[in-house]
Structure 1
């Protein structure tokens, strides 16, 4: 892997991280956000639900696992 390939990978990874962080903030703020793949709304599962915590769409296209510290 040369320097240019590494820089592209770094930029793509940073963009993906920032996009996911923004999505998490919007959903946790109570906004209705649709999945980019299937169009269903993304829901949040909290620790009180006794399930795997995170953000998920109905079809599973969006699947962001979150760890909550209680």
Structure 2
């Protein structure tokens, strides 16, 4: 039995690219809305939280970022 991971790899690559684009837009000050709740995403800096990243107010989207 041979497993084919090509579809999973394509989905992962697309998801990673989408997250990169979202991070870039939010950090440029552009408005990007959460795909689940529709609220605007915002940047959370290390000074604001122990888990910095990009998130919406409800918390259904949270992309963790490493600020080093």
How does the TM-score come out when normalised to structure 1? 0.87
Question: Which consecutive residues of structure 1, in runs of 5 or more, have no partner in the other structure?
Answer: none
Whole-Å separation in 2 of the counterparts to 1:48 and 1:2: 45
More helix by share: 1
Whole-Å separation in 2 of the counterparts to 1:67 and 1:26: 17
Whole-Å separation in 2 of the counterparts to 1:65 and 1:15: 18
Backbone CA RMSD of aligned residues: 1.1
- Corresponding residue for 1:2? 3
The alignment covers a number of residue pairs equal to 66
> How do 1:1-70 and structure 2 match up within 5 A?
2-3=3-4, 6-49=5-48, 51=49, 52-69=51-68
Whole-Å separation in 2 of the counterparts to 1:25 and 1:13: 18
Q: Structure 1 residue 48: deviation in Å?
A: 2.5
How does the TM-score come out when normalised to structure 2? 0.90
52-61 or 9-18, which deviates more? 52-61
Whole-Å separation in 2 of the counterparts to 1:34 and 1:10: 26
